[in-house]
Amino acid sequence: MNPEEQSMSETKPTPASRANAGHKPGAATAQVVIRELQAGDDAAIAEVIRRVSAEYGLGADKGYSVADPTLDCLSRIYCQAGANYWVITREARVLGGAGIAPLAGQAGVCELQKMYFLPAIRGLGLSRRLALLALAFARDQGYDSCYLETTACLKEAVALYESLGFEHLDAPLGATGHDACELPMLLTFASQEPGE
C-alpha cells in the first residue's frame, strides 16, 4: 500500500494519517479506503460527479464543473506537479473524491476541486477526512493558501469548508474557468493544521 492509500484503521504519520486522526472505525465504514486516483477510476469518478451534480441541479448548461471537458480523464489532469486527486472506495467501488491543483493566475495558491460524494458515504465524516488529506498535501507541496468555489445549495459542503477555516471572499480568484459557483472561499495556511 502506498503512503497516500489509507484504510480506516491505519495510523502512519503521513498527511493521510493526520487526516485520519481521532477517527473511530465503525462497521459501516470498515472497508472504506481513500487512495490516489488511477486511470482505471476515470469513468467511475466521472459518473459520481455527474450523479451528484444531477442530484443538486448543477447541470452542464449552468456552467458547473460537470461541464468540464476533462471530466472523463481526471487521472491525466491531476498528474501534474503540485496536483493530486483521491478517491474514496468501498469494496473497490468508487463512491467519491476530491482533488488539489494549482490555481491558474495565482502564485502559491492551490484549488480544492471536484469534491463529490454519493449518498452511501455521506454523514460518515469522510468528506472532512478527505478534505484534511487534500489540505495536508497542499501544505506539503508548499502552497500558501487553498481556494475553492462552491454554491449555496451545497449547504453541508459550505458548513464543512467554514469549519475547516475557509473564509468567504467578495470576489473570485484566479482563472478557474467556472462562473456558476457564487461562493468563493479561501483558507490561508498558518502554523496550525487546517480544521484545528
Q: Domain for residue 56, yes or no? A: yes
Measured at the alpha carbon of residue 24, what is the angle toward residues 20 and 27, in degrees to the nearest 5? 120
Is there a domain that residue 120 lies in? Answer: yes
Residue 196 in any domain: the answer is no
The residue ranking higher by pLDDT, 170 or 61, is 170
Number of structural domains the chain divides into: 1
Domain of residue 74, CATH code: 3.40.630.30
Domain membership of residue 133 (yes or no) is yes
In a domain, 195, yes or no: no
pTM of the model: 0.81
Domain that includes residue 44, residue range: 6-188
Classify residue 123 as exposed, middle or buried by CB count within 10 Å of its CB (0-12, 13-18, 19+).
Answer: exposed
φ and ψ of 111, to 5 deg? -125, 130
pLDDT of residue 131: 97
Contact by Cβ (8 Å): 158, 180: no
At 66, the pLDDT band (50, 70, 90 cuts) reads low
Residue 110 belongs to a domain:
yes
Return the biggest CA–CA distance within the chain.
44
User: Is 193 a domain residue?
Assistant: no
Summarize pLDDT for 12-44 with one digit per residue, the tens. 334 444 444 444 444 454 589 999 999 999 999
